[in-house]
Chain A
Amino acid sequence: MPGLEDLYKEIILDHYKNPRNRGELESPPAHKTEGFNPLCGDEVTVTFELRDDSLAELRIAGQGCSISQASASMMSAAVQGKSISEVRDLSREFKSMMSIHEESIDPKELDSASTATFQLGDLEALKGVVKFPVRIKCATLSWNTLLTGLDELEA
């Protein structure tokens, strides 16, 4: 049986209690996307600005449990300043880690320019969430919301 310590690592509680990049950018010019987890009522609002194909600035607002809020905070720290293709690679890697089936990601799918520098870093702390399948959606909510926002801009 997985214990609470597998889920609630210290760094997760730190991001929960001291969220990074909290707030909203003025929209427009920033792009704004809202995400909902209909099962639990968690809500996240991601606002970001692109400059030269990079995520120049990003802010997180919304409400939710420690996992959804910490994951959003960790994501904001991880993606800020990255190129769009790096952000997409990172999100693929993160969602692969969040998969119960533990699919490993095919390196060929990753953008060749970004593979060298690319790593999950602090985000690895969320790995324990897969042992609690009902919480996976909490951890992926902010990522899916950001990806929706990027898709909207590219559409």
Chain B
Amino acid sequence: MNLPSDLKEQFPLLSQVINDHQIVYLDSAASSQKPDSVIEAMNDYYRTINANVHRGAYEIAAQATEAMETSRGQIATFIGANSASEIVFTKNATESFNLVARSWGGQNLSEGDTVLITDMEHHANIVPWQILGAERGFEIRWIPLTSDGLLDLTQLDQLLDGVKMVSVTAMSNVLGTLNPVREIADRAHEAGALVTVDASQYVPHLPTDVNDLGADLMCFTGHKMCGPTGIGVLWGREEILDSMPPFLGGGEMILDVRKDGFTPNELPHKFEAGTPPIAEIIGLGAAVSFLESLGMTAIRQHEIRLTEYALNALDDRYGDELTIHGPKDASQRGGVLSIQYRDVHPHDLSQVLDQRGICIRAGHHCAKPLMRELGVGATARASLYLYNDESDIDALVDSLEPAGEMFAL
């Protein structure tokens, strides 16, 4: 069950030459590259069936609607949803979280209530709760980390006391940590709380089944899973989505509008106000087809092997001069490697690597509370995906030393 060795050829961007070097793309945790099939699917839509959906009675409008709804069904199957009406299209995972906070939270959270998140959340799963919390005065509680970058669940029962919503990432975008979502969800449910999962870094990399995860709501984004930007997903159990009030108002999300009020549309359209990003939805459907053709289990195995290769290569070459935040065991983590090399600042490291065509991320990765816990202002992050191979890791490993020579204090 290996991935095809010529996968890079299906990604036109990966043959680009940057700064006289063939590009080495190691920033897929920020955004993945797109295969030809996704780019073509979006082109085909614009060239052949571009029309607004869910209204025109003419042929291409019907085809556009069918293409969009086919994508919705593919995505539902891909994550083990019970039906396509549980798939709500948003702009990105951030909008999905804002929808959950504003709609579910707006209906259910007030002073005296508590939302439980973790120290390793992305700002998208922090700030929407803080915005609402500032209005409503409910508490936000944090699950702390162990020194290995795992969630410290020793106090979970106390932390869950009085909690109405647990919102937790399935995989850290900084540490790569894979969290025991099922265990947390089971205990949260016993305590009477619902569970929202940030699967932005999970769905692109591992076989995903919302029922196995024990999630009630789940947010992820298209552009990290070989799909386009501008399209995200909120999945929710039907009875929960049904109970939630609309988020954005306008066209498409209503059944009827009168001068004295409106009647919201059925799921999932209740949450999809305005003309949707049709080409992007079709592109995301093509991305799901692409991932399914490779097999998510094969993708995960590939990434475990490559992560192990990277961890070993970095350790063999640099030993104590280099720290990798997060778990050491590749089976407990995804292919996200936040590196501290000697005292070279992440910005300077990524600048030197850029001269060799190597794309890594330097910064706080939208996780400033985690940066404070780690005691750093920023990290340099290399992240892997299905198209990366050993040569990409070798290029990374070879490039650290020159950066160290230049900047070591």
Chain A residues proximal to chain B, CB less than 8 Å: 1, 3-4, 7-8, 13, 16-17, 39-43, 63-67, 132, 135, 138
| Cα distance, A7 to B368, chains bound together (Å) | 28
Quick check: B351 and A39 within 8 Å, CB to CB? no
Would you give 21 A-B contacts (Cβ < 8 Å), ordered by A?
A3-B355, A4-B355, A16-B407, A16-B409, A17-B409, A39-B363, A40-B347, A40-B364, A40-B378, A41-B363, A41-B368, A41-B371, A42-B347, A43-B377, A64-B347, A65-B348, A67-B348, A132-B351, A135-B347, A135-B351, A138-B347
| Cα distance, A67 to B348, chains bound together (Å) | 8
Further pairs besides A7-B351, A41-B364: 6, Cβ < 8 Å = A1-B20, A41-B377, A41-B378, A65-B348, A135-B347, A135-B351
| Cα distance, A67 to B409, chains bound together (Å) | 14
Q: Hey, which chain A residues are within 8 Å of B15, CB to CB? A: none
Q: Hey, which chain B residues are within 8 Å of A64, CB to CB? A: 345, 347, 377
CB of B362 within 8 A of chain A?
A: yes
Q: Hey, which chain A residues are within 8 Å of B364, CB to CB? A: 40-41
- A64-B345, A65-B347, A132-B351 known; A42 vs B377 contact (CB < 8 Å): yes
| Cα distance, A27 to B138, chains bound together (Å) | 35
Quick check: A65 and B355 within 8 Å, CB to CB? no
What residue of chain A has the Cβ atom nearest to residue B365's Cβ?
A41
| Cα distance, A102 to B362, chains bound together (Å) | 27
What residue of chain B has the Cβ atom nearest to residue A65's Cβ?
B347
Quick check: B406 and A13 within 8 Å, CB to CB? yes
- A39-B363, A40-B364 known; A66 vs B348 contact (CB < 8 Å): yes
Q: Hey, which chain A residues are within 8 Å of B20, CB to CB? A: 1
Q: Hey, which chain B residues are within 8 Å of A7, CB to CB? A: 351
Q: Hey, which chain B residues are within 8 Å of A132, CB to CB? A: 351
Q: Hey, which chain A residues are within 8 Å of B352, CB to CB? A: 4
Q: Which bracket fits the contact residues of B?
A: 10 to 19
Chain B residues proximal to chain A, CB less than 8 Å: 19-20, 345-348, 351-352, 355, 362-364, 368, 371, 377-378, 406-407, 409
Q: Hey, which chain A residues are within 8 Å of B407, CB to CB? A: 13, 16, 66
Q: Hey, which chain A residues are within 8 Å of B351, CB to CB? A: 4, 7, 132, 135
What residue of chain A has the Cβ atom nearest to residue B378's Cβ?
A41
| Cα distance, A41 to B362, chains bound together (Å) | 9
Point out which of B362, B368, B378, B409 has the most chain A C-beta atoms below 10 A from its C-beta: B378
A29 CB → nearest B CB, Å: 29
| Cα distance, A3 to B348, chains bound together (Å) | 13
- A40-B362, A40-B378 known; A8 vs B355 contact (CB < 8 Å): no
| Cα distance, A41 to B369, chains bound together (Å) | 11
B372 CB → nearest A CB, Å: 10
What residue of chain A has the Cβ atom nearest to residue B19's Cβ?
A1
Q: Hey, which chain B residues are within 8 Å of A41, CB to CB? A: 363-364, 368, 371, 377-378
Q: Hey, which chain A residues are within 8 Å of B19, CB to CB? A: 1
- A1-B20, A40-B378 known; A8 vs B363 contact (CB < 8 Å): no
B399 CB → nearest A CB, Å: 12
Quick check: B347 and A67 within 8 Å, CB to CB? yes
Q: Hey, which chain A residues are within 8 Å of B368, CB to CB? A: 41
| Cα distance, A82 to B20, chains bound together (Å) | 45
Q: Hey, which chain B residues are within 8 Å of A3, CB to CB? A: 355
| Cα distance, A4 to B407, chains bound together (Å) | 12
What residue of chain B has the Cβ atom nearest to residue A39's Cβ?
B363
| Cα distance, A151 to B346, chains bound together (Å) | 32
What residue of chain B has the Cβ atom nearest to residue A67's Cβ?
B347
Q: Hey, which chain B residues are within 8 Å of A13, CB to CB? A: 406-407
What residue of chain B has the Cβ atom nearest to residue A7's Cβ?
B351
Q: Hey, which chain B residues are within 8 Å of A16, CB to CB? A: 407, 409
Point out which of A43, A66, A67 has the most chain B C-beta atoms below 10 A from its C-beta: A66
Q: Hey, which chain B residues are within 8 Å of A39, CB to CB? A: 363
| Cα distance, A61 to B298, chains bound together (Å) | 49
| Cα distance, A135 to B363, chains bound together (Å) | 12
Which of A1, A4, A43, A65 has a CB less than 8 Å from the CB of B345? A65
A58 CB → nearest B CB, Å: 22
| Cα distance, A63 to B409, chains bound together (Å) | 14
What residue of chain B has the Cβ atom nearest to residue A3's Cβ?
B355
Quick check: A65 and B346 within 8 Å, CB to CB? yes
A72 CB → nearest B CB, Å: 13
Q: Hey, which chain A residues are within 8 Å of B406, CB to CB? A: 4, 8, 13
| Cα distance, A135 to B346, chains bound together (Å) | 13
| Cα distance, A42 to B345, chains bound together (Å) | 10
What residue of chain A has the Cβ atom nearest to residue B407's Cβ?
A66
| Cα distance, A117 to B5, chains bound together (Å) | 65
| Cα distance, A82 to B17, chains bound together (Å) | 48
A65 CB → nearest B CB, Å: 3
B130 CB → nearest A CB, Å: 16
A64 CB → nearest B CB, Å: 7
